[in-house]
Amino acid sequence: MTPIMIGGDHAVTWPHVLALAEVNPDARIGVVHFDARCDTWPLDGDECTSHGSPMRQLIDGGVVKGRNFV
């Protein structure tokens, strides 16, 4: 089974990918991200998330390997 999610805001992508990783911990997850920006900015200070950082958090958290993010 290969889940595919099309469309949505960052507020949708991030939790969906986290949930996929949680229910399928051995899965090799990849993200093809179409956006004007890559959304991999580091967080500033005490932020838990921002509109420019969700993909970075998926990669830094080990949910998606950097080589599997396009």
pLDDT values of the chain reduced to their tens digit, one per residue, 70 residues: 677 887 777 768 888 899 999 999 898 999 888 877 767 777 777 766 666 778 888 888 899 999 998 8
What is the residue extent of each domain of the chain? Answer: 10-68
Distances 23 to 12, 16, 29, 56 between C-alpha atoms, Å:
17, 11, 12, 21
Give the predicted TM-score (pTM) of the model: 0.75
Q: What is the pLDDT of residue 22?
A: 93
On whether the CB atoms of residues 52 and 41 are closer than 8 A, the answer is yes
